[in-house]
């Protein structure tokens, strides 16, 4: 083991890396730019490499060892655009290090110099962050220490760094019971983390909410408490006290941020993908009583405190995959160009079955309005607007039997030349988990040209349920040429 | 070195066969059987023959409390377990009984301790089913990794030197990587009588860099039919379907 950080100096070779320049020193370790040694066989595709080297020596803080163990275990298993690529790691019993890609870009913390930023910018950053968080959640990892300094805004999107406090829900939590005190960054830490609960994916959504709050208002929502007691106060926070600081925001965005900051995990968004969905459609977010509640009087608060049993850290294992599966975003793509026909009704039946099976699902109903000429935007003339509104009314009418509460269902009239491509674009941008759509019965012409549903099936990155009426059920539609089909 | 580790086979030929097939497909360098080859299940002789054959080719094979009871009697066992021991004793031939009687209680190799119950007083068959019993086992073994069975409940305890012992329920088929700073105590699930509400047979793959708890489905209906036909207590069959 390295017994002192002083030993590290430019020129020192560690395995296949040669230290070049120290770019960061913190309490737990240092970060170096490195070159590959001459005999290195590593192929990095030209990207610059950094070495993160923890300060670990006899008698050093066990937290540094644990943070390294966790980061090594988790970063080696993460992949994709939202994490730095790891090239090699050094063992704790020799020289511990993590060799990873240097991510070009600015940390989100550098943006805080200009707060508050515009609502559009809050939404843009929110979407980038949430997309990254959704990606690691899908890989069973909860970050648990999201803060502006740990989010790099790179060309390829938001890149999350520093996984020293993270949790992989299918691997042992190396953060032991005795070290499981509130660890994380006080300003952005979720209430459940203050009592040692490290099992909630929505702890990351709370941190996103706190960051968005700061971007939008210029201040962090709960201050930066320095004591454990101060930290735990956010478990009882009255969201109504935060609302005035968000009053300049569009109500939809304020609602999104407040929902992320709900003290109880179950009152936040069930998944990052559902948060992303709202960030993509803030105008469709229906403000709830979150925005209109008045702060509780001190006597009411006292009553709350009196009635509340002491919080128990919840310990759950292996629940993330199940959790994500229970809260999908379902897309119902329905062709209303012929009104709500038999096929549209059948699509609705299958959508209802999917919703019944998945209690926390949310539903996006879309229909495509075809624009005839590329570049022409029919929404800008009165005829186009009326077509748009007519279709929106028809879509809501079609979905009416499905609607339970406005929170979980939304309506979108998309516009495009190619219905299949338009649907696919929407699916990718909104991390849709499951598409339910209809297919017209087969005809020679459609087989020749390829149908909308087959295009969607071929290109969709998710499950697709294609609903088709039994042969004979739809004779009047089956001879329509491809041009007439527009879900 | 890739080692397949199995425990608590309990005379369940179908479950053992399913594990051995998956192990052969995965490819390993050796086998370790952590005891309780017999007891409860309807095929004790066949299971002993398969495992003693692997033993002759280098596999580690240890003695469990049910194997011991064949020789010493089942007076310390509960009703159903004791009844099954009496039945099993009649099924086994002298060679098979002599084989079980000579099995060792522990074996240590390459900084790994293998034992049926616990490294702490293994001859008294204590369960490693709590942090306290894990602490005792880790203190007695002294090795970096200890593997045992006996409880039929998969668990993985881990510990940084001088820190508290932590507890983890392994996720099926997901490799747990070793940290070189920690010691580990792996409690295997059972091959022949799972009790963690997952009816699939359990075996563990030990590799230099981690441990994987595999679960394998097998034809427990066939085992249940044999248990019934043999006149063994019916509960020994029905519990296989639910893993209880």
Rounded (5°) CA angle A124-A128-A130: 115
Judging by beta carbons within 10 Å of its beta carbon (0-12, 13-18, 19+), is residue A7 exposed, middle or buried? exposed
Statement: residue A309 has pLDDT above 80? no
pLDDT at A282: 94
Mean pLDDT of A211-219: 95
pLDDT at A113: 86
The residue with tokens 């748009």 is A388
Q: Which residues of A touch B168 (CB under 8 A)?
A: 172-173, 317
Query: In whole angstroms, what is the distance from residue A76 CA to residue A83 CA?
Result: 10
Residue A439 backbone dihedrals phi, psi, to 5 degrees = -130, 135
Whether A177 contacts A147, CB under 8 Å: no
The whole-angstrom distance between B27's CA and the closest CA on chain A is 23
Query: In whole angstroms, what is the distance from residue A190 CA to residue A182 CA?
Result: 10
Mean pLDDT of A451-474: 85
Judging by beta carbons within 10 Å of its beta carbon (0-12, 13-18, 19+), is residue A422 exposed, middle or buried? buried
Q: Is A69 close to B156, i.e. CB distance below 8 A? A: no
- Among chain A residues, CA nearest to B156: A172
| ipTM of the shown complex | 0.90
Which of A171, A177, A178 is nearest residue B176 as measured by Cβ atoms? A171
Structure tokens at A435: 């598409």
pLDDT band at B171 (very low <50, low <70, confident <90, very high): very high
Mean pLDDT of B185-191: 98
Mean pLDDT of A362-375: 78
Mean pLDDT of B118-135: 97
Mean pLDDT of chain B: 96
Mean pLDDT of A139-144: 96
Statement: residue B7 has pLDDT above 90? yes
pLDDT band at A55 (very low <50, low <70, confident <90, very high): confident
Q: Which residues of B touch A199 (CB under 8 A)?
A: none
Q: A445 or B244, which is more confident?
A: B244
Burial string for B88-106 (b: 16+ CB within 10 Å, else e) reads bbebbeeebbebbeebebb
Whether A304 contacts A263, CB under 8 Å: no
Statement: residue B200 has pLDDT above 90? yes
Q: Is A318 close to B171, i.e. CB distance below 8 A? A: yes
For A272-303, how does the pLDDT look when each residue is reduced to its tens digit (9 = 90+)? 999 999 999 999 888 888 887 776 665 565 55
Beta bridge partners of B210: B177, B207
Closest CA to B33 of B14, B18, B46, B52: B52
The whole-angstrom distance between A261's CA and the closest CA on chain B is 30
Q: Which residues of B touch A72 (CB under 8 A)?
A: 179
pLDDT band at A84 (very low <50, low <70, confident <90, very high): very high
pLDDT band at A1 (very low <50, low <70, confident <90, very high): very low
- Count interface pairs A-B at CB distance under 8 A: 50
The whole-angstrom distance between B77's CA and the closest CA on chain A is 34
The whole-angstrom distance between A161's CA and the closest CA on chain B is 21
Q: A307 or A421, which is more confident?
A: A421
Which of B158, B162, B180 is nearest residue A93 as measured by Cβ atoms? B180
* Strand order through the sheet with B210-216: B60-61, B30-33, B3-6, B201-207, B210-216, B176-177
Structure tokens at B50: 């398969």
Mean pLDDT of B136-163: 96
For B115-126, how does the pLDDT look when each residue is reduced to its tens digit (9 = 90+)? 999 999 999 999
Q: Is B160 close to A66, i.e. CB distance below 8 A? A: yes
Mean pLDDT of A231-254: 87
Which of A173, A178, A318 is nearest residue B163 as measured by Cβ atoms? A178
Mean pLDDT of B46-71: 97
Whether A301 contacts A451, CB under 8 Å: no
Q: Which residues of A touch B156 (CB under 8 A)?
A: 172
pLDDT band at B20 (very low <50, low <70, confident <90, very high): very high
User: Angle formed by the axes of helices A202-217 and A119-138, to 10°?
Assistant: 160
Q: Is A172 close to B176, i.e. CB distance below 8 A? A: yes
Structure tokens at B76: 């310390």
What sign has the CA pseudo-torsion A174, A180, A183, A189? Answer: positive
Q: Is B166 close to A172, i.e. CB distance below 8 A? A: yes
Instruction: Enumerate chain A positions whose Cβ falls within 8 A of a Cβ in B.
Output: 62, 65-66, 69, 72-73, 76, 91-93, 170-174, 176-179, 317-318
Query: In whole angstroms, what is the distance from residue A173 CA to residue A144 CA?
Result: 12
Q: Which residues of B touch A172 (CB under 8 A)?
A: 156, 158, 166, 168, 176
pLDDT at A180: 56
Query: In whole angstroms, what is the distance from residue A225 CA to residue A237 CA?
Result: 13
Mean pLDDT of A30-54: 91
Question: Quick one: CA torsion of A133, A138, A143, A144, rounded to 10 degrees?
Answer: 100
The residue with tokens 């100096």 is A9
Q: Which residues of A touch B180 (CB under 8 A)?
A: 91-93
* Strand order through the sheet with A362-370: A409-416, A362-370, A329-333, A434-439, A463-468
The whole-angstrom distance between B169's CA and the closest CA on chain A is 8
- Among chain B residues, CA nearest to A93: B180
pLDDT at A380: 59
For residue A17, the surrounding DSSP H or E stretch is strand A17-25
CB contact set of A445 (below 8 Å; sequence gap of 6+): A481, A482
* Least reliable range by pLDDT among A86-90, A253-257, A286-290, B229-233: A286-290
CB contact set of A447 (below 8 Å; sequence gap of 6+): none
Statement: residue A356 has pLDDT above 90? no
The whole-angstrom distance between B127's CA and the closest CA on chain A is 21
pLDDT at A358: 81
pLDDT at A405: 64
Give whole-number Cα distances, A271 to A134, A422, A461, in Å.
8, 25, 18
What sign has the CA pseudo-torsion A465, A469, A474, A478? Answer: positive
Query: In whole angstroms, what is the distance from residue A114 CA to residue A110 CA?
Result: 8
The whole-angstrom distance between B195's CA and the closest CA on chain A is 18
pLDDT at A310: 47
Question: Quick one: CA torsion of A451, A452, A454, A458, rounded to 10 degrees?
Answer: 140
Query: In whole angstroms, what is the distance from residue A279 CA to residue A256 CA?
Result: 8
Calculate what percentage of chain B has a pLDDT beyond 90: 95
Mean pLDDT of A51-61: 79
Statement: residue B145 has pLDDT above 60? yes
What's the per-residue H, E or C state across chain B? CCEEEECCCCCCHHHHHHHHHHHHHHCCCEEEECCCCCCCCCCHHHHHHHHHHHHHCCCEECCCHHHHHHHHCCCCCCHHHHHHHHHHHHHCCHHHHHHHHCCCCEEEECCEEEECCCCCCHHHCCCCCCHHHHHHHHHHHCCCEEEECCCCCCEEEEECCCCCCEEECCCCCCCEECCCCCEEEEECCCCCCCCCCCCCEEEEEEECCEEEEEEECCCHHHHHHHHHHHCCCCHHHHHHHHCC
Mean pLDDT of B199-221: 97
Q: Is B179 close to A93, i.e. CB distance below 8 A? A: no
pLDDT band at A181 (very low <50, low <70, confident <90, very high): low
Instruction: Sort strands A409-416 and A362-370 into parallel, antiparallel or unpaired.
Output: parallel
Mean pLDDT of chain A: 84
DSSP string, A80-92: STTSPPEEEEE-T
What's the per-residue H, E or C state across A305-364? HHHCCCCCCCCCCCCHHHHHHHCCEEEEECCCECECCHHHHHHHHHHHHHHHHCCCCEEE
Query: In whole angstroms, what is the distance from residue B18 CA to residue B24 CA?
Result: 10
The whole-angstrom distance between A52's CA and the closest CA on chain B is 17
Query: In whole angstroms, what is the distance from residue A425 CA to residue A407 CA?
Result: 23
Closest CA to A389 of A378, A400, A375: A378
Q: Which residues of A touch B160 (CB under 8 A)?
A: 62, 65-66, 176
pLDDT at A316: 44
For residue A205, the surrounding DSSP H or E stretch is helix A202-217
- Among chain B residues, CA nearest to A72: B179
Mean pLDDT of A108-121: 92
Q: Is A92 close to B174, i.e. CB distance below 8 A? A: no
pLDDT at A304: 53
Q: Which residues of A touch B166 (CB under 8 A)?
A: 172-174, 176-177
* Least reliable range by pLDDT among A190-199, B52-61, B100-109, B230-239: A190-199
The whole-angstrom distance between B176's CA and the closest CA on chain A is 6
The residue with tokens 């392994």 is B170
Which of B160, B169, B176 is nearest residue A62 as measured by Cβ atoms? B160
Residue B177 backbone dihedrals phi, psi, to 5 degrees = -75, 145
Statement: residue A311 has pLDDT above 60? no
Give whole-number Cα distances, A298 to A191, A239, A403, in Å.
21, 14, 39
Mutate to test the interface with B, among A141, A171, A317 (most CBs of B within 10 A): A171
pLDDT at A379: 53
For residue A232, the surrounding DSSP H or E stretch is helix A228-232
pLDDT band at B149 (very low <50, low <70, confident <90, very high): very high
What sign has the CA pseudo-torsion A198, A202, A208, A211? Answer: negative
pLDDT at B114: 98
For A384-424, how does the pLDDT look when each residue is reduced to its tens digit (9 = 90+)? 778 888 888 889 889 988 877 656 888 889 988 889 999 99
Statement: residue B217 has pLDDT above 70? yes
Mutate to test the interface with A, among B157, B180, B181, B197 (most CBs of A within 10 A): B181
Mean pLDDT of A140-149: 96
Statement: residue B169 has pLDDT above 70? yes
Domains contained in chain B, CATH given: 3-206+219-242 (3.60.21.10)
Statement: residue A306 has pLDDT above 60? no
Query: In whole angstroms, what is the distance from residue A350 CA to residue A118 CA?
Result: 41
Whether B70 contacts B107, CB under 8 Å: no
pLDDT band at A183 (very low <50, low <70, confident <90, very high): low
């Amino acid at each position: 083991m390295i017994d002192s950080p002083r030993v590290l100096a430019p020129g020192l070779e560690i395995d296949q890396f040669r230290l070049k320049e120290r770019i960061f020193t913190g309490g737990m370790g240092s970060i170096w730019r490195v070159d590959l040694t001459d005999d290195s066989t590593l192929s990095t595709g030209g990207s610059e490499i950094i070495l993160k080297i923890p300060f670990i020596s006899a008698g050093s803080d066990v937290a540094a060892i644990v943070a390294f163990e966790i980061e090594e275990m988790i970063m080696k298993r993460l992949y994709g655009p939202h994490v730095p690529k790891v090239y090699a790691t050094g063992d704790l019993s020799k020289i511990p290090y993590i060799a990873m890609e240097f991510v070009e870009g600015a940390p989100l913390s550098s943006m805080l110099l200009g707060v508050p930023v515009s609502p559009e910018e809050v939404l843009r950053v929110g979407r980038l962050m949430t997309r990254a968080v959704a990606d690691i959640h899908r890989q069973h990892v909860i970050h648990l220490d999201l803060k502006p300094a740990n989010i790099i805004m790179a060309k390829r999107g938001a890149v999350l760094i520093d996984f020293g406090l993270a949790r992989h829900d299918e691997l042992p939590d190396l953060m032991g019971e005795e070290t499981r005190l509130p660890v994380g960054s006080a300003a952005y830490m979720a209430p459940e983390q203050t009592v040692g609960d490290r099992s909630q994916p929505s702890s990351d959504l709370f941190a996103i909410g706190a960051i968005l709050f700061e971007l939008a208002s210029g201040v962090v929502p709960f201050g930066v408490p320095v004591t454990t007691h101060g930290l735990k106060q956010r478990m009882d926070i009255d969201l109504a006290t935060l609302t005035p600081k968000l009053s300049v925001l569009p109500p939809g965005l304020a609602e999104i941020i407040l929902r992320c900051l709900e003290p109880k995990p179950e009152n936040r968004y069930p998944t990052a993908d559902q948060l992303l969905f709202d960030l993509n459609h803030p105008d469709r977010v229906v403000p709830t009583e979150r925005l209109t509640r008045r702060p509780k009087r001190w006597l009411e608060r006292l009553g709350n405190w009196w009635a509340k049993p002491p919080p128990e850290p919840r310990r759950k294992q292996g629940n993330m995959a199940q959790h994500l599966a229970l809260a999908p975003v379902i897309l119902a793509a329905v062709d209303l160009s012929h009104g709500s026909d038999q096929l549209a009704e059948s699509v609705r039946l299958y959508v209802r079955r999917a919703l019944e099976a998945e209690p926390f699902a949310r539903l996006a109903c879309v229909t495509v309005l075809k624009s005839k000429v590329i570049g022409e935007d029919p929404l800008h003339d009165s005829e186009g607007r009326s077509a748009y509104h007519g279709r929106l009314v028809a879509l809501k009418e079609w979905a009416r039997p499905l609607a339970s509460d406005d929170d979980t269902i939304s309506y979108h009239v998309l516009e495009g030349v190619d219905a299949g491509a338009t649907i696919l674009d929407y699916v990718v941008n909104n991390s849709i988990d499951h598409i339910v759509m209809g297919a017209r019965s087969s005809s020679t012409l459609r087989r020749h040209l390829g149908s909308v549903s087959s295009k969607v099936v071929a290109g969709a990155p998710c499950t697709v349920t294609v609903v088709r009426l039994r042969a004979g059920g739809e004779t009047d539609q089956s001879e329509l040429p491809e041009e007439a089909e527009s879900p | 070195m890739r080692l397949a580790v199995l425990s608590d086979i309990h005379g369940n030929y179908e479950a053992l066969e399913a594990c051995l097939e998956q192990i052969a497909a995965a490819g390993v360098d050796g086998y370790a059987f952590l005891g309780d080859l017999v007891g409860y299940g309807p095929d004790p002789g066949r299971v002993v023959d398969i495992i003693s054959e692997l033993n002759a080719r280098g596999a580690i094979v240890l003695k469990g409390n049910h194997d011991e009871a064949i020789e010493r009697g089942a007076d310390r066992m509960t009703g159903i377990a004791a009844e099954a021991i009496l039945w099993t004793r009649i099924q086994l031939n002298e060679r098979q009984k002599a084989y079980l009687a000579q099995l060792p209680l522990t074996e240590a190799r390459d900084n790994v301790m293998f034992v049926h119950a616990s490294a702490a007083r293994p001859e008294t068959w204590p369960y490693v089913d709590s942090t306290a019993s894990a602490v005792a086992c880790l203190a007695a073994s002294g090795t970096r990794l200890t593997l045992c069975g006996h409880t039929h409940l998969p668990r993985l305890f881990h510990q940084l030197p001088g820190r508290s012992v932590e507890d983890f329920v392994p996720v099926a088929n997901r490799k747990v990587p070793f940290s070189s700073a920690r010691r580990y105590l792996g409690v295997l699930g059972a091959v022949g009588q799972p009790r963690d509400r997952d009816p699939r047979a359990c075996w563990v793959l030990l590799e230099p860099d981690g441990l994987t708890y595999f679960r394998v489905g097998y034809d427990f209906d066939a085992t249940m039919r044999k248990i019934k036909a043999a006149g063994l207590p019916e509960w020994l069959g029905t519990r296989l379907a639910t893993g209880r």
